[in-house]
């Protein structure tokens, strides 16, 4: 396949990906759901590196929702193990690529081993300046908004002085709006992902399941994004 000329394309500042379809990918191949997650996580690293290299500044990856704790214990435990392995094993990779890693989500009920691996990775990469990966893990969009409201209430600030634009400072991470939101596997919903930041995002819903979503698929997303006319409620902007 020909290389895509990125100089002709619009590069979003913040890309969000809902990592979806691992289970169905595995089922199609007669594999277990756990093997589907292994394949999905295998794909994550190279894809993240590619996306940041193309000039995207922030990449938010939805890897586990607050609601995902409803799944079978075996699957939840396997995902928790994968998180620990991914955070520990890839420290070198994040350092080499100058990537700062941050997290969005609640602590409870994450196992201590996951919290420890998460915190160590955050601490080690905090001065990296070559792009941000924001793992949304045990993340819920409504929970995040509720937690922000509680933070504001406890801060004692005069709420009458708070502008819409200030609200993001109270979210789990202080990040720009999502420009391009990709959900793999053909599902057409947000499933509680970054509700505040997705307000004016362009949505892209490839049918490809996440373990098969590679660099060329991301190129297609950027080509589509470039063709979109973002108006933000204003007039057509050519």
Q: By the criterion CB under 6 A, which residues form the site for ligand IPE?
A: 18-24, 62-65, 68, 79, 185, 187, 189, 191
Judge whether 20 counts as a catalytic residue: yes
The nearest distance, CB 85 to ligand IPE, in angstroms, is 14
Alpha helices in the chain (DSSP H): 22-28, 33-53, 73-89, 91-96, 112-125, 141-155, 215-227
The nearest distance, CB 93 to ligand IPE, in angstroms, is 20
How far is Cα 144 from Cα 137, in angstroms, rounded to an integer?
12
Write down the catalytic residue from 2, 5, 20, 134: 20
- Residues 27/185, Cβ–Cβ less than 8 Å: no
Q: How many residues bind Mg ion (CB under 5 A)?
A: 1
Q: Does 219 bind Mg ion (CB under 5 A)?
A: no
Q: Which is nearer to Mg ion, 20 or 38 (CB)?
A: 20
Q: Which is nearer to Mg ion, 67 or 120 (CB)?
A: 67
State the DSSP code for 2: P
Cβ atoms < 10 Å from Cβ of 204: 19
How far is Cα 78 from Cα 63, in angstroms, rounded to an integer?
13
Q: Reduced to 3 states, what is the DSSP secondary structure of residue 223?
A: helix
In the list 20, 144, 179, 219, the residue contacting Mg ion (rule: CB under 5 A) is 20
Q: Which two tokens stand for residue 40?
A: 């999905």
24 binds, among ligand IPE, Mg ion, none (CB under 5 to 8 A by kind): ligand IPE
65 binds, among ligand IPE, Mg ion, none (CB under 5 to 8 A by kind): ligand IPE
Write down the catalytic residue from 68, 81, 128, 217: 68
Q: Reduced to 3 states, what is the DSSP secondary structure of residue 9?
A: coil
Annotated active-site positions, please? 20, 68
């Amino acid at each position: 396949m020909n290389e895509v000329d990125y100089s002709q394309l619009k590069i979003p500042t913040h890309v969000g990906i809902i990592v979806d379809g691992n289970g169905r990918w595995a089922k199609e191949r007669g594999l277990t759901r756990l093997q589907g997650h292994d394949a999905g996580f295998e794909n994550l690293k190279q894809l993240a590196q590619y996306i940041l290299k193309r000039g995207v500044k922030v990449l938010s990856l939805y890897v586990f929702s607050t609601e995902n704790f409803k799944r079978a214990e075996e699957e939840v435990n396997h995902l928790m193990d994968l998180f620990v392995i991914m955070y520990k094993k890839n420290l070198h990779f994040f350092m080499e690529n100058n990537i700062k890693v941050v997290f969005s989500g609640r602590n409870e009920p994450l196992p201590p081993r996951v919290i420890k691996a998460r915190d160590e990775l955050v601490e080690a990469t905090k001065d990296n300046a070559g792009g941000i990966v924001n793992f949304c893990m045990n993340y819920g969009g409504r929970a995040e908004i509720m937690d922000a409201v509680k933070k504001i209430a406890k801060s004692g600030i005069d709420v009458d002085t708070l502008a819409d634009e200030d609200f993001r400072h109270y979210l789990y991470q202080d990040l720009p709006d999502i420009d391009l939101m990709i959900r793999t596997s053909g599902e057409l919903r947000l499933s509680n992902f970054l509700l505040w930041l997705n307000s004016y995002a362009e949505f892209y819903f490839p049918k490809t399941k996440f373990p098969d979503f590679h660099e060329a698929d991301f190129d297609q997303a950027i080509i589509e994004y470039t063709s979109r006319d973002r108006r933000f409620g204003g007039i057509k902007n050519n």
